[in-house]
Amino acid sequence: MQCNEVRALPAWCLRLIILMEARAKPRLKSCEGLWRSTTKGLRGREARPGSMTRFIRDEGLLPAHEIDWIAGEANADLAAFLSRAAALPLERRPTMRSWINGFIAHEVRAPDPHPEKQEDRRQYDAEPRQPFPIPPPSQARAHKTNPDFSARRSGQEWRGRGVSGCEEAPPTHGD
């Protein structure tokens, strides 16, 4: 993705990019972000940082307080949502898409740094909201099942040599 393409993205896409980079940041060892590494802008190309989040901040595409909130609190909120969802049975488990839809719709939102400027927003914020009806993590799964993905079937002796493990091994000297 080029710099001009990022500039043309709507705000909700920029928020998702920031959230993706924030989720991946603890695991990144050899790259800075989605753009991998910083470029100098040689041979007619535009200079850019390795992180799209840094580019969005430097270009002012989103307010700095919103970027900080997404990288910090929204990231932690998503992690908490996923851990609470994992405690539910599969048929009652909410999808990650439901959290992302709430994030895009601003049900999960950054606090406004200038609350005195938005009078009509106070009434909206005063209404209780619970976008994700998920029970607390204390209600863990009753029984955790681990499906058996082994390639061997009962009564059959296979020495797996292929990808699936079901291919019969060629005879050896002892067979």
For residue range 111-128, list pLDDT tens digits in order: 555 555 544 444 444 444
Residue 161, both tokens: 């040599």
What pLDDT is stored for residue 77 in this prediction? 86
CA angle in degrees (0–180, nearest 5) for 115-99-50:
80
Most confident of 100-104, 118-122, 170-174: 100-104
What are the sequence ranges of the domains in the chain? 3-111
* Residue type (1 letter), 144: K
- Beta bridge partners, 48, equal 39
Average pLDDT value over all residues in the chain: 69
Q: What is the pLDDT of residues 41-87, one digit of tens each?
A: 657 677 667 778 888 888 888 888 888 888 888 888 888 888 888 88
pTM exceeding the 0.85 threshold for the entire prediction = no
117 alpha-carbon distance from chain centroid: 32
More confident residue, 107 or 129: 107
